[in-house]
């Protein structure tokens, strides 16, 4: 069994397996001649290419997702992608590779080479994670306390700073932060954009990463062609997915959304309505981290409302990082953001999955959408008013 699994891992091309499963490599980030492949992850929702396959020999590759943390061999890929147990994944791969009887000596040689390649891949991953954290710490050290520009940016995004006593300590200001584009573009001679930015600390205790938003007084900073300068995240890979930007310490409950600005706007509205003692606030930074592990293609079993339920495999939840409320918090208000990428329908699916995930773990969880409309970007004043009316009888 073990020898067979090593033989299968060494003989199968993980790259081709991933391609057959619909993975589309990012040509700007991949280096085919080195067997270095990058794509949007097939196991968690994302638009960037965090899914890495290293397969210089044309077979025997490894994958690692720097977003959701899933990693492993061709066998692990089949287990994740097809939701089958290890024995079945092995049987499928062995039969498609035509391996029924093993040649013992050849198998041992391949297994040895495979073990060496795995150790090298793991060392490379660990080094990448350490570099990410170091870069995040360096950026954080360049920041200063929030000033008038960051305050006017947040006010323009609907945040009532007076109500919450100013900009939270987790948000700081960098007067001239460089923005280098993704992938192959990182070999550019000069940055794509340099300008003022909001830098957010990721992590509840120690810093595990930083999130950057390039800003102007009236909104997001823009490139000469009018496009918004993209937000960026860097930190200890594997640890930043699911770690929040903490906007206020949670007490009884936490208001959680994807974005820093919307979450802060909603929380400031709740504080203004006199509910600050009840709700803290965190930005989860990614809809995938908020929704948690589930069938990535939405093919999982549907709940009563027709939306996929969280994964029935408990091991997945334990192994894959995702956002959960801080220790001691029992309730969560999940902010639906109608303006989310992918439209209102995608936002609704993610929010509903997040609610189901938390409910299954015993949290009191509800989804709130501004104005009850998934196709609108509205402010959260009505949410605060409704929440105030709901809790009033308990006072």
Cα distances (angstroms) measured from residue 386 to each of 157, 364, 367, 392: 21, 17, 13, 10
Smallest gap from Cβ 69 to Zn ion, in A, equals 7
Query: Considering beta carbons, is residue 68 or 150 the nearer one to Zn ion?
Result: 68
Smallest gap from Cβ 316 to Zn ion, in A, equals 12
Number of H helices, E strands in the chain: 11, 14
Q: How far apart are CA 161 and CA 155, in angstroms?
A: 7
Query: Considering beta carbons, is residue 44 or 172 the nearer one to Zn ion?
Result: 44
- Strands 71-72 and 171-179 turn out to be unpaired
Query: Considering beta carbons, is residue 229 or 240 the nearer one to Zn ion?
Result: 240
Cβ pair 311, 317 in contact under 8 A? yes
9 C-beta neighbours (distance < 10 Å), count: 26
Smallest gap from Cβ 50 to Zn ion, in A, equals 6
Q: Which residues bind Zn ion (CB under 5 A)?
A: 41, 43-44, 65, 67-68
Both structure tokens of 230:
């993209």
Cβ pair 104, 90 in contact under 8 A? no
Smallest gap from Cβ 38 to Zn ion, in A, equals 12
Smallest gap from Cβ 40 to Zn ion, in A, equals 9
DSSP-based three-state secondary structure for 50: coil
Query: Considering beta carbons, is residue 320 or 340 the nearer one to Zn ion?
Result: 320
Cβ pair 29, 16 in contact under 8 A? no
Smallest gap from Cβ 41 to Zn ion, in A, equals 3
Query: Considering beta carbons, is residue 183 or 371 the nearer one to Zn ion?
Result: 183
Which residues, in sequence order, are bridge partners of residue 220?
215
Cβ pair 62, 53 in contact under 8 A? yes
Q: How far apart are CA 147 and CA 171, in angstroms?
A: 11
Query: Considering beta carbons, is residue 79 or 167 the nearer one to Zn ion?
Result: 79
| Dihedral sign of CA atoms 202, 207, 208, 211 in order | positive
Query: Considering beta carbons, is residue 68 or 351 the nearer one to Zn ion?
Result: 68
Smallest gap from Cβ 88 to Zn ion, in A, equals 22
């Amino acid at each position: 069994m073990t020898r067979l699994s090593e033989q299968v891992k060494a003989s199968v091309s993980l790259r081709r397996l991933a391609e057959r499963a619909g993975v589309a490599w990012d040509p700007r980030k991949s280096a085919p001649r080195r067997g270095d492949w990058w794509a949007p992850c097939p196991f968690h929702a994302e638009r960037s290419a965090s899914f890495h396959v290293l397969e210089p020999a044309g077979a025997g590759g490894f994958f690692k997702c720097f977003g959701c943390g899933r990693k492993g061999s061709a066998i692990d890929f089949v287990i994740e992608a097809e939701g089958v147990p290890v024995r079945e994944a092995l049987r499928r791969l062995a039969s498609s590779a035509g391996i029924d009887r093993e040649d013992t000596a050849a198998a041992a040689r391949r297994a040895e080479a495979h073990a060496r390649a795995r150790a090298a891949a793991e060392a490379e991953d660990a080094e990448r994670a350490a570099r990410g954290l170091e870069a995040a710490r360096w950026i954080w050290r360049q920041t200063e306390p929030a000033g008038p520009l960051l305050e006017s940016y947040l006010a323009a995004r609907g945040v009532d700073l007076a109500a919450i006593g100013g900009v939270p300590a987790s948000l700081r200001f960098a007067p001239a932060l460089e923005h280098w584009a993704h992938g192959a573009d990182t070999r550019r001679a000069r940055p794509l954009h340099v300008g003022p930015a909001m830098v957010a600390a990721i992590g509840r205790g120690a810093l595990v990463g930083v999130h950057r938003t390039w800003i102007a007084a009236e909104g997001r900073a823009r490139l000469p062609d009018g496009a918004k300068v993209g937000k960026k995240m860097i930190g200890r890979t594997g640890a930043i997915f699911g770690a929040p930007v903490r906007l206020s310490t949670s007490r009884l409950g936490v208001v959680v959304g994807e974005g820093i600005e919307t979450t802060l706007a909603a929380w400031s509205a709740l504080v203004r309505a006199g509910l600050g003692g009840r709700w803290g606030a965190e930005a989860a930074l990614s809809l995938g981290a908020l929704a948690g592990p589930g069938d990535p293609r939405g093919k999982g079993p549907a709940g009563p409302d027709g939306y996929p339920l969280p994964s029935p495999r408990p091991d997945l939840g334990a192994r894959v990082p995702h956002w959960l409320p801080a220790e001691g918090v029992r309730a969560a208000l999940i902010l639906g953001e109608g303006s989310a990428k992918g439209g209102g329908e995608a936002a609704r699916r993610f929010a509903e999955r997040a609610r189901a995930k938390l409910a299954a773990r015993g949290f009191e969880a509800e989804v709130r959408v501004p104005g009850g409309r998934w196709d609108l970007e509205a402010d959260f004043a009505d949410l605060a008013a409704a929440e105030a009316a709901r809790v009033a009888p308990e006072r």
